[in-house]
Amino acid sequence: MEGVQMKVPLFDIIRQYEKLRREILEAIDSVISSGRVILGENVRKLEEEIAEFAGVRHGIGVANGSDALYIALKALGIGEGDYVITTPYTFFATASCITRNGATPIFADIDPETFNINLDLVEEILNSHPQREKIKALIPVHLFGQTVNLERLEYIRQKYGIKILEDCAQSIGSTWTYSDGTVKKSGSVGDAAIFSFFPTKNLGAYGDGGMIITNNDEIAEFCRKFRVHGSKVKYHHDVVGINSRLDEIQAAVLRVKLKYLGEYIEKRRKIAKWYGEEFGRKALVVREPRTENRERKNRESENHRTREFSNSFSRTLGLSDSRIFIKIPSVPSDNSHVFHQYVIRVGNGQRDALREFLRERGIGTSVYYPMGLHQQKCFAYLNIPEGSLPETERASKEAIALPIFPELQKQEIEYVVQTIEDFFKG
């Protein structure tokens, strides 16, 4: 691949569309021809299909993932004076839904290996936070497509009596294998969960879209009313809701794509494996030993693992420059990762320079996320000191997302990895 210049986008919506063009156009035409473009048959069927896919009873289509979070949290009864635990390392909407409902976010730092919320720290907060009696809910995010420990989430809900709202915006189709061999999908164990159908998601529309899923009949009924101005019967309003409806055209498109979601997920996993193989050949990476992709059960082992991560991450990786090191994500042997994003960590403050180097050579990247939510100006009132969430702050300086989508070709991956090697060698 040396000397070859390619254009490798971070995501390419057109490649997928070219393969589905006929089905997509037929689906759109059928909606327009029916004359029913809002809350019609396609929305109803998609809600049923997504609920069945996720292993729950109800699906409620809404305008976007952000509204899904806001409405679902309100349906859980969260409001003024309540506190909600979530991760500081995620998209803004995960925390803004808390404040929009009048509650206060409490941030628990992340696991440095998975980027997911550290459940040991969640339990520490539930046991010792000054406002622990007012903590009413937990919003775990299955970040980048990797499932948080669902078995542990169920344990926390039962032990502490709090509500769980799963943010599955990036994880549709991911699963968790329990200690007894039971397999459950992300979104199926919380009091409610949400999906985002933003175009770049693993199941993406050609515009905005979102869905709330739940096994709770009362939560489902509330969400259905709230998305149409709080109305169950037209012009009769039980609560002051909002206008947040998934439209028929997007639902029709999503129903076409849903048929291929399993195939798309397997392709993403294959691409992640290819990345790992290519990085391994270049002697560019350090790998963190892990046991079946499971979080440690106690704080002592968590601290030990964090130290081991830091030590291994700073080792020399086989190239002549001892300052060169990156870390790639593990590919679990189970189905707990659907690789919505393929995020590596770049040490020694070289992340931004690498990103610019890749951009100049036609390779798309992104930074998820350039700062923790606790560092956002709008959350300054929380008075969280710099350095209080060290793993989040470190990840925001080191993480970079590389191209990944089902249509990505092997030679493109080889080019990306070769270009990264060129950067470090240069």
**178, 150 contact by CB (below 8 A):** yes
Q: Supply 124's token pair.
A: 């520490």
3-state secondary structure 224-256: HHHCECCEEECCEECCCCCECCCEHHHHHHHHH
201, 225, 257, 327: the active-site residue? 201
**278, 414 contact by CB (below 8 A):** yes
Could you give the CA distance from residue 325 to residue 350 in angstroms, rounded to a whole number? 9
In sequence order, what are the residues at sequence separation of 6 or more whose Cβ sits closer than 8 angstroms to the Cβ of residue 91?
169, 369
Strands 236-237, 104-107: pairing kind: unpaired
Other CB atoms within 10 A of residue 392 CB: 26
Active site (annotated) includes residue 201: yes
Give the dihedral of Cα atoms 79, 80, 83, 89; nearest 10 deg: 70
Could you give the CA distance from residue 183 to residue 175 in angstroms, rounded to a whole number? 7
Instruction: Give the helix ranges, DSSP H, for 314-409.
Output: 351-360, 390-398
Helix axes 65-75, 93-100, angle to 10 degrees: 40
| Residue at 150: amino acid letter | L
**97, 49 contact by CB (below 8 A):** no
Instruction: Report helix, strand or coil for 31.
Output: helix
**Catalytic residue list:** 201
